[in-house]
Chain A
């Protein structure tokens, strides 16, 4: 009986203890940081848009609208009134007919055509071929088929962010490119995390000559002009999407290894590690169960700062033409295409840059927020 009451008294005390652990404390402090919370929400929204957006977008990301090359971004659907006339004239130029009159009512286009000879009814296909028109049909003929009345549906399409130099919807491409950039950012960071944590923990824990050798290796890689290293890896692996982030991750693990080693050096002298060793726990088990989890704080901070770095690096590679290949795209590819078209279509540069900049801003805010939240000095 007395045992039961003692247990009941202990349980809430345990809950209280739990509420003050490093991570829940950090979470509480992070939640109090308005900029970081806003950044997390924005980033989540961005990721959601990139994942779902291309699925619900009316335009496939690689569909080419030949009539709408470099269409300006607009909230009004295309085609515009002048464009209908242009498109119609261009479509019928090869049919050798004269356009007597045309009118647009709602979503229906009515045209009257005339020619010196009987008009081949198959010429409606010329009209169908234009992106703006669909379903052209003959509604009546006069004068033995020398005058035709044709109706066609006007297909209204919306390009919120305009179209690129090949006539593909820019917004859909930005969202698809966002998938690639975010995926590379996350996966390359993960690769860097794996290598860096393993390398740093082993070096720090082993100490002595092994430590010196392993860290000397990191130093040497550090002084290698790393962009050359990545270019080599990309050239070596071919321009493969999956291998690319392994290449990027394989370069970015150096800082991680240093951070983890520094942490490990201080952790391995803690009593609980000595206790584990005294109990005969195997070395790998100590590293995995005691060293790595306790070194994670600075690692998490560094990770949030590594993701934007990797995204930038991927953009940089894509900008040089070493990244993702057509028709796939990434923010770096879009930006480099935009930079090439900056004179006549600056929005091609501006829109992808805005997406990239917002993502990088958010990640920076989150990183700063985490650093403040996990900083033991401020607690």
Chain B
């Protein structure tokens, strides 16, 4: 098991390396720079700034420099948020984003699996149809529509929850963003669970368990073990989708996470900040895929860890 994990981790290094390289050069190919403002800076000041941030050196030297910094965990200074290093900015935002993303993931998995199981056990009955209808709505209505609607309903009309802000992580501030973020994933997971659950319930070992007259919750529990496999393998893409979705959710609800650094950084050509965000997100995606693989192997004895 440990060897498997180590092997996967080492195979992730070239992937991360390619990601860093592609992102670095793509970013630099884009026209404009962090200091091309609407009112151009005087040439000497600009030259000094460029020299200070080592932007006047050839691109490959900057690239090597960045790699060297990356090895020691130094992501460099932010060009736009002066007085902040990228490390500081990410450390501020990351706990918030992780809280938001993980809560959404847990919520989506729990509710999605529960709804999918109910739908599968009541196949082609009203409960099934209503769950699937809700899931279809969840898939077709993008979360940037859902989020303002939820705000309108719960924050403005009913006044139960705050419309935005993070409030130092108070629970009431989390409910709306987490729910808005989780909703599309709830829909996907419910559909996945239903499909695989229906298949598993027809399989031989479940029929046998039923024939033995085992109580319903035992049968369902055994079926779930098999039926959750597709859901587990979906968790990797789901985590990536949550990271993406959080860009929008964080800006709608004014949550101070790292999602907003994506867009703002790219628009401001804040090279180091964007690179830092990309590296962080890539590390998370790779880590998450690893966790998913391990979980998968643990649940499915047919998969051998090699």
A-B Cβ contacts below 8 A, count: 103
| Residues in chain B within 8 A of chain A (CB atoms) | 14-15, 18-19, 22-23, 26-27, 29-31, 136-137, 139-142, 144-145, 147-149, 151-152, 156, 240, 243-244, 247-248, 251-252, 262-263, 266-267, 274, 277-278, 281-282, 285-286, 289
Select one of A219, A227, A316, A346 contacting B144, CB under 8 A. Answer: A316
Complex Cα gap A203–B141 (Å):
36
Distance in angstroms from B270 CB to nearest chain A CB is: 12
Distance in angstroms from A164 CB to nearest chain B CB is: 16
A281 on interface, CB distance cutoff 8 Å? no
- Do residues B240 and A315 form an inter-chain contact, with CB atoms below 8 A? no
- Do residues A231 and B140 form an inter-chain contact, with CB atoms below 8 A? no
Select one of B19, B26, B31, B248 contacting A319, CB under 8 A. Answer: B248
Q: Which residues of A contact B151 (CB under 8 A)?
A: 342
Instruction: Choose the segment among A7-15, A167-175, A271-279, A349-357 that binds chain B (4+ C-beta atoms closer than 8 Å).
Output: A349-357
Select one of B22, B141, B248, B277 contacting A224, CB under 8 A. Answer: B22
Complex Cα gap A319–B144 (Å):
8
Q: Which residues of B contact A236 (CB under 8 A)?
A: 26, 29-31
A351-368 CB contacts (< 8 Å) to partner B: 353, 356-357, 360-361, 364
- Do residues A339 and B23 form an inter-chain contact, with CB atoms below 8 A? no
- Do residues B30 and A361 form an inter-chain contact, with CB atoms below 8 A? no
Complex Cα gap A379–B225 (Å):
30
Select one of A220, A320, A338, A361 contacting B247, CB under 8 A. Answer: A320
A225 on interface, CB distance cutoff 8 Å? yes
Q: Which residues of A contact B137 (CB under 8 A)?
A: 357
Q: Which residues of B contact A343 (CB under 8 A)?
A: 152, 156
Interface bracket on A: 35 or more
- Do residues B140 and A227 form an inter-chain contact, with CB atoms below 8 A? no
- Do residues B139 and A364 form an inter-chain contact, with CB atoms below 8 A? yes
- Do residues B247 and A227 form an inter-chain contact, with CB atoms below 8 A? yes
Q: Which residues of B contact A233 (CB under 8 A)?
A: 26
Distance in angstroms from A197 CB to nearest chain B CB is: 22
A134 on interface, CB distance cutoff 8 Å? no
Distance in angstroms from A223 CB to nearest chain B CB is: 5
Q: Which residues of A contact B26 (CB under 8 A)?
A: 229, 232-233, 236
Nearest A residue to B281, CB-CB = A225
Q: Which residues of B contact A336 (CB under 8 A)?
A: 144
Complex Cα gap A361–B248 (Å):
22
- Do residues B140 and A225 form an inter-chain contact, with CB atoms below 8 A? no
- Do residues B286 and A223 form an inter-chain contact, with CB atoms below 8 A? yes
A312 on interface, CB distance cutoff 8 Å? yes
Q: Which residues of B contact A339 (CB under 8 A)?
A: 144-145, 147-148, 252
Distance in angstroms from A262 CB to nearest chain B CB is: 16
- Do residues B142 and A225 form an inter-chain contact, with CB atoms below 8 A? no
A307-329 CB contacts (< 8 Å) to partner B: 308, 312, 315-316, 319-322
Q: Which residues of B contact A226 (CB under 8 A)?
A: 240, 244
Complex Cα gap A229–B18 (Å):
13
Select one of A225, A335, A349, A361 contacting B285, CB under 8 A. Answer: A225
Complex Cα gap A308–B184 (Å):
14
Select one of B30, B142, B263, B278 contacting A322, CB under 8 A. Answer: B263
Complex Cα gap A236–B281 (Å):
21
Q: Which residues of B contact A315 (CB under 8 A)?
A: 142, 144
A186-236 CB contacts (< 8 Å) to partner B: 219-220, 223-229, 231-233, 235-236
Q: Which residues of A contact B149 (CB under 8 A)?
A: 342, 349
Select one of A224, A228, A321, A361 contacting B262, CB under 8 A. Answer: A228
A-B contact pairs, 20 of them (CB 8 A): A220-B15, A220-B18, A223-B285, A223-B289, A224-B278, A225-B244, A225-B282, A229-B26, A232-B26, A232-B30, A235-B30, A322-B263, A335-B145, A336-B144, A339-B145, A339-B147, A342-B148, A356-B145, A357-B145, A364-B139
- Do residues B15 and A219 form an inter-chain contact, with CB atoms below 8 A? yes
Nearest A residue to B286, CB-CB = A223
Distance in angstroms from B135 CB to nearest chain A CB is: 11
Q: Which residues of A contact B282 (CB under 8 A)?
A: 223-225
Distance in angstroms from B136 CB to nearest chain A CB is: 7
Complex Cα gap A336–B143 (Å):
11
Distance in angstroms from B14 CB to nearest chain A CB is: 8
Most buried by B among A227, A353, A357: A227
Complex Cα gap A360–B151 (Å):
23
